[in-house]
């Protein structure tokens, strides 16, 4: 193999890296020293701060975004035999959440420009059993919420937004999460803010918020924290069986400070995305689309697509980056490319032509707030050597 015309980095440049500062660590130690490790006061604080940040009334913190998607479908009333429309181009946990309720995921093709769920194709997939729609704010690029909610209302569906990539994104002057739908966020270690593992679900009313909280803790009508210090004995009930989906205070301690820093990080991510756009403009790449001026991209991922005229294919580019000690990734392997879902849906590669095409040509480049211009130059040099 010929020697590549760029230096291999001595240190690995990963796709993402969390920023955990002294404030996070101090608060985390405070949680540990307080003796209250599980769901308690720091979770309550993070829920209040998230509600204020998003401009919504009711947020419940959970063990993951996946837990949020599952509970959202459940409180939305999804039952066995129901159909849920979701984009093929998403993380497989969306489809798993539907299947675990005995419902059927109906996969929708991608919009060629944004990579979002194509609502024209979704229209052709609506049937008498269609109950819900699960759009994904892919890469942090906000979905057009005006069109989405109009589609929802026209067909009498309810919407569960997968905002795993989109904490901090905005559409039409409102945060993603504040457009009247159940919305799930992820605070997994690779996302725009982290609680190590964790997530949050926005719900519309106080009764649903209480139900989500119960379902996240075995179905118990009172949490351990609300019983703590109370004089009454254990007067709690189970009206429906729940799960073990609660966030703990150790995680929330970190999240409280991550949230304070989030807007600054998104601004840094935007600068890096702009710098990538400049460096890569001359290459046979399709650069990430930008949303309209009234909105805000959360810049979770910097996803490019190889042009049809590129001299080598996407996987060869990934290998070149790996050889240079640079991590890159693919978002996503479409749901119907997994064996289980190919079997369940009967879809084959080619049946959702846009998603299939984007899946073969997309790659996500390193992007995180502590990334330097020199890191970015290293990525750019590899791509220039591979593609120019």
- Which sequence positions are flagged as catalytic? 191
Place of tokens 């591979």: 386
Instruction: Round to whole Å and give the CA distance between 164 and 179.
Output: 16
- Please identify, using beta-carbon distances, which residue of 197 and 277 lies nearer to ligand PLP: 197
Residue 161 within binding range of ligand PLP, rule CB under 6 A: no
Tokens of 159: 């919407």
Instruction: Round to whole Å and give the CA distance between 94 and 100.
Output: 10
Residue 256 contacts residue 49 (beta carbons within 8 Å):
yes
- Applying CB under 6 A, the span of 46-54, 88-96, 287-295, 365-373 interacting with ligand PLP comes to 88-96
Question: CA 383, 91, 299, 319: dihedral to nearest 10 degrees?
Answer: -10
Tokens of 170: 């905005």
Residue 65 within binding range of ligand PLP, rule CB under 6 A: yes
- Applying CB under 6 A, the span of 21-29, 87-95, 202-210, 249-257 interacting with ligand PLP comes to 87-95
Least distance in Å: CB of 90 to ligand PLP?
5
Residue 162 within binding range of ligand PLP, rule CB under 6 A: yes
Least distance in Å: CB of 311 to ligand PLP?
30
- Applying CB under 6 A, the span of 51-59, 62-70, 254-262, 316-324 interacting with ligand PLP comes to 62-70
Least distance in Å: CB of 88 to ligand PLP?
12
Interacting residue with ligand PLP among 16, 39, 64, 130 (CB under 6 A): 64
Reading phi first (left if > 0) and then psi (alpha if -120 to 50, else beta), residue 346 is in left
Interacting residue with ligand PLP among 165, 211, 268, 269 (CB under 6 A): 165
- Please identify, using beta-carbon distances, which residue of 40 and 199 lies nearer to ligand PLP: 199
- Please identify, using beta-carbon distances, which residue of 168 and 199 lies nearer to ligand PLP: 199
- Applying CB under 6 A, the span of 1-9, 58-66, 248-256, 306-314 interacting with ligand PLP comes to 58-66
Helices 65-75 and 206-215 meet at what angle, rounded to 10?
120
Give the footprint of ligand PLP on residues 168-207 (CB under 6 A).
Answer: 186, 188, 199
Cα-to-chain-centroid distance, residue 221? 30
Number of residues that bind ligand PLP (CB under 6 A): 14
- Please identify, using beta-carbon distances, which residue of 199 and 369 lies nearer to ligand PLP: 199
Least distance in Å: CB of 199 to ligand PLP?
5
Residue 62 contacts residue 201 (beta carbons within 8 Å):
yes
| Start-end of H helices in the chain | 22-34, 41-54, 65-75, 92-100, 119-125, 145-155, 206-215, 224-227, 249-280, 314-323, 339-345, 353-361, 373-387
The vertex-330 CA angle with 327 and 335, nearest 5°, equals 150
- Applying CB under 6 A, the span of 126-134, 160-168, 171-179, 231-239 interacting with ligand PLP comes to 160-168
- Please identify, using beta-carbon distances, which residue of 158 and 332 lies nearer to ligand PLP: 332
- Please identify, using beta-carbon distances, which residue of 73 and 164 lies nearer to ligand PLP: 164
Residue 95 contacts residue 70 (beta carbons within 8 Å):
no
Interface characters, 94-113, with ligand PLP (x: CB under 6 A): x-------------------
Residue 82 within binding range of ligand PLP, rule CB under 6 A: no
- Please identify, using beta-carbon distances, which residue of 76 and 310 lies nearer to ligand PLP: 76
Least distance in Å: CB of 322 to ligand PLP?
22
Please list the residues that pair with 105 across neighbouring strands: 84
Interacting residue with ligand PLP among 46, 88, 97, 136 (CB under 6 A): 136
Helices 249-280 and 373-387 meet at what angle, rounded to 10?
50
Least distance in Å: CB of 194 to ligand PLP?
10
Residue 151 within binding range of ligand PLP, rule CB under 6 A: no
- Please identify, using beta-carbon distances, which residue of 193 and 387 lies nearer to ligand PLP: 193
Helix, strand, coil % over all residues of the chain, rounded to 5: 40, 15, 45
Neighbours of 264 (CB within 10 A): 11
Phi, psi (degrees; rounded to nearest 5) at 112: -60, -35
Query: Measuring CA to CA, how many Å separate 324 from each of 4, 242, 281, 371?
Result: 9, 48, 21, 16
**What residues make contact with ligand PLP under the rule CB under 6 A?**
64-66, 90-91, 93-94, 136, 162, 164-165, 186, 188, 199
């Amino acid at each position: 193999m010929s020697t590549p015309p760029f230096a291999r980095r001595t240190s690995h440049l990963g796709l993402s890296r969390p920023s955990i500062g002294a404030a996070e660590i101090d608060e985390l130690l405070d949680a540990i020293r307080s003796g209250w490790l599980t769901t308690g006061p720091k979770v309550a604080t993070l829920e209040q701060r998230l509600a204020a940040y998003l401009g919504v009334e009711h947020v419940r913190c959970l063990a993951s975004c996946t837990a949020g998607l599952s509970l959202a479908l459940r409180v939305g009333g999804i039952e066995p035999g129901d159909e849920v429309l979701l984009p093929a181009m998403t993380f497989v946990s969306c489809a798993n959440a539907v299947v675990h309720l005995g419902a059927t995921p109906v996969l929708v093709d991608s919009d060629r420009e944004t990579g979002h769920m194509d609502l024209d194709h979704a229209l052709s997939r609506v049937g008498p059993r269609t109950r819900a729609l699960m759009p994904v704010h892919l890469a942090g690029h906000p979905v057009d919420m005006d069109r989405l909610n109009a589609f929802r209302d026209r067909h009498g569906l309810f919407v569960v937004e997968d905002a795993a990539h989109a904490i901090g994104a905005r559409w039409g002057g409102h945060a993603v999460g504040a457009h009247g739908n159940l919305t799930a966020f992820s605070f997994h270690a690779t996302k725009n803010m982290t609680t190590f593992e964790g997530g949050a679900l926005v719900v519309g009313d106080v009764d649903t918020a209480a139900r989500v909280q119960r379902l996240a803790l075995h179905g118990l009508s009172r949490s351990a924290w609300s019983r703590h210090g109370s004089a009454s004995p254990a007067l709690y009930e189970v009206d429906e069986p729940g799960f073990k989906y609660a966030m703990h205070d150790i995680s929330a301690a970190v999240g409280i400070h991550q949230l304070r820093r989030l807007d600054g990080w998104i601004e840094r991510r935007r600068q890096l995305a702009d710098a990538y756009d400049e460096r890569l403009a001359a290459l046979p790449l399709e650069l990430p689309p930008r949303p309209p001026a009234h909105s805000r991209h959360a810049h979770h991922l910097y996803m490019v697509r190889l042009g049809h005229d590129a001299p080598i294919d996407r996987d060869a580019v990934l290998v070149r980056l790996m050889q240079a000690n640079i991590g890159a990734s693919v978002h996503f392997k479409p749901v119907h490319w997994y064996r289980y879902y190919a079997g369940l849906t009967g879809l084959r590669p080619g049946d959702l032509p846009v998603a299939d095409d984007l899946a073969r040509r997309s790659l996500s480049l390193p992007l995180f707030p502590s990334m330097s211009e020199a890191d970015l130059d290293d990525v750019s040099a590899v791509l220039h050597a591979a593609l120019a």
